[in-house]
Chain A
Amino acid sequence: MWFTSDPTFWMPAQASNHAALVDNIYYFLYWASVISFVACMFAGALFVLKYRAKNINDKALSQVDHSTTLELTWTLPVFAVAAVAFYFGVMGFVSMKTPPDDAYEVNVTAYKWAWAFNYANGHTDGNLHIPAGVPVKLTMSSDDVLHSFYVPAFRVKQDVVPGRYTQAWFEVTEPGEYQIFCTEYCGTKHSEMLAKVIVHTEDDFKKWLDSVGNILDRLPPEEAGKMLMTQRGCLACHSIDGAKGVGPTFKGSWGTTRKLADGSDQVMDENYVRQSIMEPQSQIVAGFPPVMPTFKGKLEDREITAIIAFIKSIK
C-alpha cells in the first residue's frame, strides 16, 4: 500500500520529499498494530468463548499465575517494534529539521488570522508561491499568538511562535496547489486561517516573482490596494460586500461617521484609516473586538495610500 504516492484511504497524496518517508513508517506501524491488535482480540474472544463457565461453581482449569519466560517473550516484540519505529522516526525527523544550505528562503509571518510570505525582493503574499524541484526553507515567526504551519500533502508541520523564529523546509517535485492549515489554536477564526502553496515550475516562478514586484508602479492604486489587502489578509476580517465580519465592512464606508468604543464619533477619513492600520487598538469601532494586529513597520506609506484608494472605491 505504501509504494503509491497517490492518496489512499488513510493518507493524502505524497507531494514533498518528506512524504514517502513519513508514510513508510506510518504504514509499518499501521501493519504492526493491525496484526497485534487482531491477534490479541482474536485470542481474547477465543478464550472467552472456550472457557465460558457452564455452571457458576465451575473452577478454572488452571491457576498458573506467572511465567517469566512468557513475560519476556511478549515484551521483546514490543521492544523490537518500538526500536525500529524510534530509529526511523528519528532519522526522518532529523532530515525534516535540517534544511540544506542551498535552500530557497522565504520569510513567514503569521498573525490573526492570515499568513504573510515575504520574498527577498520585498514582495509579501498571502499564499506561498514556490518553485518545484528546489528545496525551500521557511523562517517563521508570529506577531501575536501561537500558530502552526501545516501542509498535509507535504507531511510538514511547525509551530510559529511569537518572540522567536522556527524553521521548516521541503522540496516539492510536481507543480500544483496544496492546502495550508493553521494547526495551533489561535482564536476566533483559527479554522479559517487557510492559505495555499502554489508550486510553479522554476521558470514560471521567476516570471511570477517579477510580475508581483513593484505592483505600486505597475497598477492603478485601487487595484494595487486590493491586491495588498488580499495578500495581507485584511479581507479575512473586513468584508467588501457588506457582510458582518470580525471587523467592520468596507462597503460604502468611506466618509461615513462611526461610533467608537469609547463613545466618541469618528469620520472614516484618511487619517482615521492610517491611524487604524498603525495603531489599531486606539480607535476601535463600537461593537467590535479589539483584535486587529498593528501593521506598523510592515506597510510602506505608498502602500497605505493605495489601500486608502481601494477603500474609497468600494461603494
Chain B
Amino acid sequence: MTADAAHIVSSRDDTYLNHTKGLLSWVVTLDHKRIGLMYLLSTALALCLGGVFALLVRTELWGPEENLMSHDVYNQMFTLHGAVMVFLFIIPSIPAAIGNFILPIMLGVKDVAFPRLNLASFYIYVVGAIFLVTSMYLSAIDTGWTFYTPYSSSAQVGSQSAVMSSAMGVFILGFSSIFTGINFIATINTMRPKGMGWFNMPLFLWAVYATSIIQVLATPVLAITLLLLTVERAFGLGIFDPALGGDPVLFQHFFWFYSHPAVYIMVLPAMGVISEVIGTFSRKRIFGYKFIAMSSLAIAFIGFLVWGHHMFTSGQSKLASMVFSGLTYLVAVPSAIKVFNWLTTLYKGSIRLNAPMLYALSFIWLFAIGGLTGMFLGTLAVDVHLHDTYFVVAHFHYVMVGGTVMALFAGLYYWWPKFFGRMYNETIAKVACLLVFIGFNVTFFPQFVMGSQGMPRRYYTYLEQYQPFHQISTVGAYILGFGILMAFAGLILAALKGPKAPDNPWGANTLEWHTSSPPPFDNYASQPEATDPYDYHALVFDEKIGGWVKVEDAPATGGEA
C-alpha cells in the first residue's frame, strides 16, 4: 500500500467542513458528509424532544393520582413519545446519520450513488417531521404510535385532524427511509473498491446493507397502510373500520408487516457499529466474520416472517399464531450468534477501554437482556400473560434504547474524531456512559417485574401495588436523561474545543481511517484499493502524532513490543 499516501492529496486545511462556507452551502449541499451531519442534528433534536415527552410521562406516573396532566394530555404524551422516537429518531439515527457519513468513506468513494436523492431524502424527512410535529398544534394524536383502528379512524376527542396530519407525516417519512435504503444498496453494490469482495466488506457495511433491504421492501407497506388510514379517516372507506364492514385485525397485519421489520431497521445498524468497535478495541480480528455478516442478512429476511407475534392476543387465528411463534424463534439464533461472536472476539485480545468500547460493552449487556426477554414474548402461552404489559415496554426499550442509543453513542464517540478532526474528553464520555447504563437499568428493569405482575401499558393511573416500581423507574429515567445530555455535551465540547485528532486514533484498519480527519471534501482523490479491514497488526502507534500508522510508514524506532 505504498500508493496510500498519494490518495490523500487535498491539503489538510481543505476539509469538507470549510470547503465551502455559509449556511446556504450546507442547505443545498450534495456532500454525503454534510447531509449525514444534518441528519445527526435533526435526529438528536428528535431524541431530546422524545426524551422530554418520556420524562413528562414518567413524572406523571410517580403516583396513581393526577400529578402533571390530565388523562387526555397523558395519552397524547405517550403517543408523541413513541411516534417521535420511532419515526424521527431511531429509524433514521444510525443508518441516515452515521451511515451517510461513514459508508462512502468506508468504501473509498467520493459520494453515495445518488447524491441528489440523498439530499432529497433529508428534506423529505424534514417535511415529514414537520407534519408529525404539527399534529401537536392540532391538539395532538392520542392513538399510540401504532395507530390501531378503529380508534384512529373514528372521531376522538380533539384528534380528528391530528391523526391525519401524523399519518401523512409518517407516510412522508417512509419515503425518506426508502430513498436512503435505495441509495445505500446501490452504493454498496456497484461502488465497492478494488480488492473488496463481498466478504472483505467491513461488518458495518453488511449491517447497513441488510437494513437497507428492509427499508426498501417493508416501508412501502407502511406507506400504503397509512394512506389507507388517512383516506379511511377522511372518507370512511370501510377497509379497516368495522362500522363499515372493515376489519381492524387486518389493519394490524398491515401495520406490523412493516413495523416488525422496522425493529431490525433500528437494531441492525447498531449491531454493525458494535462489530466495528469491538474488533478495533480488542485489536483482534472479529470472530466469526461470516457468521456475523450472514446473521445480519438472516435477521433481515426472517424479520419479514414474524410480524404476527405482535398479534397473539389480538384475535389472530390459532394457526397463524403458532406459525408466527415458531418463526419468531428463528430470529433468536442469528441474534445469539452475534452476541457469542462479540464475546469470543474479546478472548485473547488486547483490550483498551476507551469510551466507544465501554458503550459497546454496555450494548452487549442491555441487548442480551432485551433478546432473552424476547424469548418470553415469543412463547405463545407466556405472551398471553405478558402482552401489552410493562414487560413488553421494558423488553423493547432494552432492545431499541439499550441497543440503538448505546450503539449510537459508541459510534459517535468512535467516529467523532473523523467527523470533526477533534478528540473528545474521555472522562466526560465515560461518566456519561456509566450514568446512561445505570439510569437505563434502573428505569426499565423494574418494569419487567411489574409487567409480570400484570401492570398494563399505556395506563394513566394504576393500582397502588405497582407504585414502588413506578417510582424507581421514574428516578432511573431522570438519571438516564441526565446521562444522555452529558454524552451529548461531551460530543459538542469535543467538536468545538477538543484537541486535534490524528487520522487514525484507534488503530482501526477500515478505509475511513486512511483519509485525513476530518476528511477532505472529496474523501479521496482516486478510489483507494481495499485492504483487509481487520488486519490490526498492519498498524503501529506513533507517539509523535498520537495516532496509528502503517507499519511500513512508522519511524524506525517505532514502539513494536
Contact = CB atoms under 8 A, between A and B. Distances in A.
Contacts of A40: 339-340, 343, 364, 368
B186 interface: no
Interface in B315-338: 315, 318, 321-322, 325-326, 329, 332-333, 336-337
B355 to A, nearest CB: 14
A158 interface: yes
A181 B350 CA distance: 53
A61 B460 contact: no
A51 B350 contact: yes
Contacts of A192: 460-461
Given A82-B332, A164-B242, A51 B347 contact: yes
Interface residues of B, number: 98
A127 interface: no
Contacts of A91: 381
A162 B242 contact: yes
Interface in B288-338: 288-291, 312-315, 318, 321-322, 325-326, 329, 332-333, 336-337
Contacts of A53: 283, 350-352
A59 B343 contact: no
A202 to B, nearest CB: 27
A63 B385 contact: no
A66 to B, nearest CB: 6
Given A10-B452, A22-B385, A58-B283, A144 B332 contact: no
B379 interface: yes
B449 interface: yes
A25 B381 contact: yes
B309 to A, nearest CB: 11
Interface in A70-111: 70-71, 74-75, 78-79, 81-83, 85-86, 88-94, 96-97
B381 A157 contact: no
Interface string A147-165: 0101011011111011110
Contact of B361 (A44, A188, A191): A44
A150 to B, nearest CB: 7
Interface stretch (A29-37, A208-216, A217-225, A269-277): A29-37
B72 interface: yes
B34 interface: no
A270 B247 CA distance: 38
Contact of A60 (B143, B282, B353): B282
B351 A82 contact: no
A65 B534 contact: yes
A43 interface: yes
B381 A86 contact: no
Given A11-B453, A62-B284, A189-B71, A93 B318 contact: yes
Contacts of A153: 454
Contacts of B151: 145-146, 185-187
Contacts of B71: 188-189, 191
A248 B419 CA distance: 60
Contact of B150 (A43, A58, A61, A146): A146
B63 interface: no
A164 B315 contact: yes
B449 A157 contact: no
A146 B337 contact: no
Contacts of A279: none
B375 A179 contact: no
B344 interface: yes
Nearest to B452: A10
A190 B387 contact: no
B389 to A, nearest CB: 7
B311 to A, nearest CB: 9
Contacts of B246: 163
B318 A94 contact: yes
A291 B154 CA distance: 10
A152 B364 contact: no
A81 B373 CA distance: 13
22 contacts: A10-B453, A12-B454, A22-B385, A29-B372, A29-B376, A40-B340, A51-B348, A52-B353, A53-B283, A56-B352, A63-B284, A64-B285, A65-B284, A74-B337, A75-B336, A89-B382, A93-B322, A96-B384, A157-B384, A179-B454, A183-B389, A185-B148
* 10 smallest beta-carbon distances between A and B, as pairs: A163-B242, A152-B454, A92-B381, A93-B380, A89-B379, A47-B346, A191-B459, A65-B285, A60-B284, A82-B329
Interface of B: 71-72, 75, 142-144, 148, 150-151, 154-158, 242-243, 245-249, 282-291, 312-315, 318, 321-322, 325-326, 329, 332-333, 336-337, 339-341, 343-344, 346-353, 361, 364-365, 368-369, 372-373, 375-376, 378-385, 387-389, 449, 452-454, 456-463, 534, 536-537, 540-541, 559-561
Given A90-B325, A163-B243, 12 more contacts: A22-B384, A25-B382, A26-B382, A51-B347, A56-B541, A61-B350, A75-B337, A82-B329, A86-B326, A159-B314, A161-B248, A186-B151
